[in-house]
A and B are shown apart, each in its own frame.
Chain A
Amino acid sequence: GENVEQHPSTLSVQEGDSAVIKCTYSDSASNYFPWYKQELGKGPQLIIDIRSNVGEKKDQRIAVTLNKTAKHFSLHITETQPEDSAVYFCAASGGYSSASKIIFGSGTRLSIRP
């Protein structure tokens, strides 16, 4: 079945710097790649997603890139702010083994240093 690996597990960056989180997936038929942000005590919230027919997508300070050949995708956060501190999850779905399911990575805890 689909497997999603996420790195790093923890990331600390200076406020104002950029943060990058990377994920790889195993099912070449996967076609939907969302990113979720989870704040303490809350459920995950979708922040951006990308489909396999697109190589890059941006939304203000957040961008996601997808390399289908290499089967990896990344989240980029620029000009980080204290409110960006949270746990971030990547996910993949739509492949042959997960047509109705989303498989999540193990998460990255991002800390923004003032």
Chain B
Amino acid sequence: NAGVTQTPKFQVLKTGQSMTLQCAQDMNHNSMYWYRQDPGMGLRLIYYSASEGTTDKGEVPNGYNVSRLNKREFSLRLESAAPSQTSVYFCASSVGRGGNQPQHFGDGTRLSIL
């Protein structure tokens, strides 16, 4: 049982380049989330999808777009990468639509913007 799978695990980009971070879960969960983790700041929500077909902004959505491709997959896109987006990105999923459910996390994508 793979749980939440994120690809790639590491990526280095130049300022202005674009890329898409992929996330897939095999637990038949309804809700999926994208977070960024910076030193001393915990996890901050970028976007979430409460159910297939819906997406909503979190705390720090600027500079990002998301797509809930189907129930399993939720991708995060950086259209024009900036050094401030250097971070570790985590995808998570939960069975229910509300935030008051345990979340299952992937192992992250470590992204550096030069």
Which residues does A use to contact B, with CB under 8 Å?
6, 9, 31-32, 34, 36, 41-46, 49, 51, 89, 93-94, 98-107
* Interfacial chain B residues near A49, Cβ < 8 Å: 102
Q: Other than the known A6-B42, A34-B102, A45-B105, what 14 A-B pairs have Cβ atoms closer than 8 Å?
A: A32-B100, A34-B103, A43-B92, A43-B105, A46-B104, A51-B100, A93-B98, A94-B100, A98-B99, A99-B99, A100-B98, A101-B99, A102-B99, A107-B40
Cβ distance A9 to chain B, nearest Cβ, rounded Å: 7
The docked-state distance in angstroms from the alpha carbon of A43 to that of B40 is 16
Known A-B contacts A43-B4, A43-B90, A44-B43; the reply to A99 vs B107 at CB < 8 A is no
- Residues of chain B contacted by A103 (CB below 8 angstroms): 45
Residue of A nearest to B43 (CB): A104
Which of A45, A99, A106 lies in contact with B98, CB distance below 8 A? A99
Q: With the chains together, A106 CA to B44 CA distance in Å?
A: 9
Closest B residue to A52 using CB positions: B100
Determine whether the beta carbon of A42 is less than 8 Å from that of B48: no
A-B contact count (CB 8 A): 64
- B: residues with CB less than 8 A from A are 4, 31, 40-45, 48, 50, 56, 58, 90, 92, 97-108
Q: Judge whether B31 and A107 touch: CB under 8 Å.
A: no
